[in-house]
Amino acid sequence: MKTNNHNTYTAMKTKSIIRGLEALSLLLLLFMTVLPLTAQQKYELPYQDPSLSVDVRVDDLIGRMTVEEKISQMMNSSPAIERLGIPAYDWWNECLHGVARAGLATVFPQAIGLAATWDEDLFFRVSTAISDEARAKHHEFVRNGQRRRYQGLTFWTPNINIFRDPRWGRGQETYGEDPFLTGKLAVQFVKGLQGDDPKYFKTIATLKHYVVHSGPEPERHSFDALTDERDFRETYLPQFEMGIREGKAYSVMCAYNRYNGEATCGSDDLLNGILRTEFGFDGYIVSDCGAINDIYRGHKLVGTAAEASALAVKTGTDLECGSAYRNLKEALEKNLISEKELDVSLRRLFVARFRLGMFDPPAMVKWASIPYSVNDSEPNKKLAKETALKSIVLLKNQNSILPLKKDVGTIAVIGPNSDQSFVLLGNYNGVPSDPVTPLRGIREKVAGESEVLYAQGCNWVAGMPKQKPEEELKAEALEVVKKADVVIMCMGITPRLEGEEMRVAIDGFRGGDRTRIDLPDVQQELIKAVHATGKPVILVLLNGSAIAVNWENENIRAIVETWYGGQAAGEALADVIFGDHNPAGRLPVTFYKSVNDLPDFSDYKMDNRTYRYFRGEPLYPFGYGLSYTSFKYSKLKVAKTVKSGENLRVSVKIQNTGGMAGDEVAQLYVSNLEADVPVPLRSLRGFKRIHLKPGESRTVSFEVAADAFTVIDLNNKRVADPGQFLITVGGRQPAKVTSDKEEGILKKMVKMI
């Protein structure tokens, strides 16, 4: 009986297990059947489905929007459209030299300082670090329900306008005066910002300000910049073409001013003709802030906001920074524009948002996984210091007074820029966690070996409100200098005197621009008084534009240019002054001797401007910078002829012939010696920054693009120009436009056939 009962029990248990398995199978089958339905429910509308192409999704979404909703999405502060699941988004964000205006961030040297590194690889690493922080910040903001200005992923940088005149206050935001250098650096900055994913942008970079835009600041809302086609094509346009063709920048910002009578944000030729048709630009165009209002208020090209808005959209300005586009409804009602024309802009804008991954699960977007801890991280801090070190330019070093020994004795640090952290940051800046001023950097460098004393010495400019009297400040400084063995004077300008459309009207400064290019009188007087004591003086400049330090160059033993060097400026300066780093920065702008050497500030013709056209003698030329070691160039190899349309290969051997390791910046220039139309005296066409140990040598190669051997002819067309060209290679630009020998410069003639 027990056996039978056991068998019965076993049979019943087996049947129960089988029924259980069958039930489980049914549940699994049901689950597998329902799962696709659930997914289908999740993506019931085409624009919600990540498996579809971006174009299909964008067209589907735009087709569901009302006219009012469309218009609302064409201004920088775009509201949410909840019925369609479109979150609010503000397109306005800044990261000129670090994520700006969004709290704590790594702050690199101001753009002009970045350019002084002449280092393409460094530019890519810096912008990669910036975009890492940008992505991390954006997702942290979104997680906390924040979608305000300066929290998005569309960045209005880099500023690639040509710094044609040192009086322009916003020149500090640029990469200098040369279109080739500017373009090459911009390409790397754009690539680092936008990333390398074929589907999703990391962030979006915006080339600005298109085009022919570089002051004066107070007149920018009504100013008409005038040039001929040659200057336009040779100077103002190339870097934009490079940023689009090579960098693949997905956004361009049109400027405030007119160019040759047309508003840059309302010119069919500039926007559709050149950018979209000629350069193949397929991204979106955004106006500078308030520039659409300028079309009718400042430039008076049309009579109303509706007309200005219609003109801007029809000619290609897709997004407005401002609110004038609210008047597009009136423009539609008056048949000034059609809804289909609005849709063209909407498509470009939503393609950008979809390609940023804003409508897809974060898990699908690799950039969304960047941790917030990358912000202000140790690797980024080290990169900020490396960049500051590489940006410093040694302008003078008489009798090799630098580097100083750390046990030099008593050091007097004097000057208004010695201990003000805001001066380090330039404009469009973030907030660093631990900025190091020159005074702090010097104190920490020589701690335990030398004593450091400090006095402000003077104000930046006489007449500044709420400042100590100048004579009192000077007396305090001279008392400190008496006790010193060496004096380090930190002088220059501040981003509160030079910058964008500022309310400044004081001696030497107007509306953000400069009216003179030497140091303010109070600073010059202090420098002369300290020099008169007989103590050795090291002059350190902190500024965003070239300064005519003529007396100082004649009388001060060492001069160091540090720009607005970012959060690590003081550390980097101390490393250079005391020999822990060998400076190798190069000037991205010409330092002129006098404002009298320059044409009128409002004259945009390039004649006698920048190193390419300047016929005078500069104080310090473009590309200039000294080192604590020496380099020798040899074995220049260049073909004797180059065919039309072909690139030219050039190589040269460089050896460190001094006793200290250091960087050298090899520079290649091309001069057209037989052109029958106006051409530059010389043009930079290659550069490379390399590191060499004492005695080490390396062969550096360049490939000079075929367009270096072309001209803009009398019909305003770019054509090959058969004839003789001079190729020069060295650590600086040549002083002569001939084949004569120059010490440290190698030259060869090439015939273009």
* Greatest extent of the chain over all pairs of C-alpha atoms, in Å: 123
The single-letter DSSP state of residue 80 is P
282 touches 352 (CB < 8 A): no
Candidates 128, 133, 92, 130; CA nearest to 108 is 130
Q: Are 514 and 545 in contact (CB under 8 A)?
A: yes
Between CA 280 and CA 275 the distance in angstroms is: 6
At 87, the amino acid letter reads: P
Q: Tell me the two tokens of residue 528.
A: 């002369």
- The answer to whether the CB of 411 falls within 8 A of the CB of 442 is yes
451 DSSP β-pair partners = 410
Measured between its terminal Cα atoms, the distance across the chain in Å is 112
Which residues make beta-bridge pairs with 719?
711
- Which parts of 599-682 are beta strand (E)? 631-638, 641-642, 648-656, 662-672
Residue 90 is classified by DSSP as E
Q: Is 23 exposed, middle or buried (0-12, 13-18, 19+ CB in 10 A)?
A: exposed
The residues that bridge with 145 in the sheet, in sequence order, are none
Q: Is 498 a catalytic residue?
A: yes
Spot the catalytic one: 90, 177, 241, 288. Answer: 288
Per-residue DSSP letter, 327 = G
Single out the catalytic residue among 119, 294, 307, 498: 498
Reduce the DSSP state of residue 389 to 3 states and report it. helix
CB atoms closer than 10 angstroms to residue 448: 6
* Cβ–Cβ under 8 Å, residues 207 and 242: no
Whether residue 134 contacts residue 99, with contact meaning beta carbons closer than 8 Å, is answered with yes
Contact partners, residue 333, CB within 8 Å, separation at least 6: none
Give the C-alpha separation, 545 to 534, whole Å: 29
Q: Does residue 455 sit in helix, strand or coil?
A: strand
d(CA 283, CA 276): 9
CB 259 within 8 A of CB 223: no
Q: How far apart are CA 108 and CA 287, in angstroms?
A: 27
**Burial of residue 715 (number of CB atoms within 10 Å: 0-12, 13-18, 19+):** exposed
Q: Which candidate, 51, 39, 42, places its Cα nearest to that of 354?
A: 51
Q: Which two tokens stand for residue 274?
A: 């050149």
**DSSP type of residue 544:** S
Cα–Cα distance, 248 to 352 (Å, whole number): 13
Which of 499, 525, 520 is CA-nearest to residue 508? 520
Q: Which helix (H) or strand (E) holds 542?
A: strand 537-542
Distance CA 562, CA 580 (A): 16
Whether cis (ω within 30° of 0) applies to the bond prior to 403 is yes
Separation of alpha carbons 73 and 348, rounded Å: 11
- What is the Cα–Cα distance from 23 to 673, expressed in whole angstroms? 90
Residues designated as active site? 288, 498
